[in-house]
Structure 1
Amino acid sequence: MKLIQRTENLYELSMGMIKAFLIDNGRDLVLIDTGIKGKAEAILRAIDKAALDSSRLKHILITHLHSDHTGSLHDLKEKTSALVYAHNLEANAIEEGKILRDCVPAPSLMSQISVPLILKMNKDKRIMGTTVDVRLSDGDFLAIGGGIRVVFSPGHTIGHVSFLLQKEQNILITGDAAWGGKKPGYPLLFEDLNLGIQTLKMLGNMNISMALFSHGKGIPKEASPQFRERFSRFQQ
């Protein structure tokens, strides 16, 4: 597992097709998402290898319930006793170990092919549930990690949130509200396509400097105009 420093206080944990993010503000460590099942030990080792001291991991923020974001949550909470944060609309599902709800493909050929298979294979699967200690709402300010603003970004799931790192000059950790690449793109699937499109337009109207995605390459600067260019004309 690679731990890549993106700014003075922000690190990216690369786990192949999925990324988590770590914030070090000099006291406690804040982890955003946990990757797939079985990554807890590797995450803690990567933190220690970077001389950041995994015993300082006190907060775990979850963007949404899907298992590539929550798969190692239970084990990490067991090992660290970190507080777990998730939106109120996702919290019950996370506590029950649900990893997928009914959804529709994004408007792309890859999604049209893959999402029916994903639903067939995963809809009824469960993982070990984890208690959500802090239930989030849109606009909540978290006095951790130098200050984090909760951005309600539904569509991919009904309770999806992104996190705006205000000390880091308005860096947005998008989760799966969008996917990265040369330009911001659709996530693979939506629980509510209409809401998802509105979220993508909303991100274009925010003051986002850098956007970092759970899937795909980040946008290092002037992210908001790129969201506007990509999504403002989309009619749904």
Structure 2
Amino acid sequence: MNKSTTKSGATDVWYAHPADRTSQTDDQRIQDITVLPPPEHLIRFFPIRGTAIEKLIAQTRKSIHDILHGKDDRLLVIIGPCSIHDPAAALDYARHLKEMREKYSDTLEVVMRVYFEKPRTTVGWKGLINDPYLDESYRIDEGLRIARQLLIEINRLGLPAASEFLDVISPQYIGDLIAWGAIGARTTESQVHRELASGLSAPIGFKNGTDGNIKIATDAIQAAARGHHFLSVHKNGQ
């Protein structure tokens, strides 16, 4: 569910509007609510089951696992733009990177950095999913669709993708298309992100804290390696 505190988001809704405020003390700072399609809607529209894409992602995840555990002596290379703002430019970059992946496949496992969410120290553009048209229209429904479609197109080239998981709901929309995931410096210490990482299917890396402290990252690794019970959203939206 997309909640806006400053301006209206998308006007298109997929299901009935949510109930009005439950009391005078509820949602006092929420100006507008737009209901998003459930994850399964986009997954059915952009499926990968039984395709070469599904096979590529599964194989790359295994290769990364083997590299990290010393069973594969190749070097893992996560490379690409800071964040994605132009899908066409990202796809063009992916075509060139695919050539490098093939050329150096004997020594490198090349995975493209495809980051859709930008953590901000204060304020600013929060990434393609949050504001895909960079015009403060905040079409999150469109951002999720564009993100999933772009990931499918990149993977279809034979190039696996990596992404940072900043929001704890967005992985339900795109997580099956990611070969390697990251938890960033600003969220590595967050309990909900450690819980999220424990349940993600892709190998996950934790970044050091914003002050360079690596203990935060090692603590996060230990926490995510354990099983957790936590609140989340099912692919049917419940």
Q: Same fold by TM (over 0.5)?
A: no
Structure having the higher helix fraction is 2
Q: Which has the higher contact order (CA 8 A, sep 6+)?
A: 2
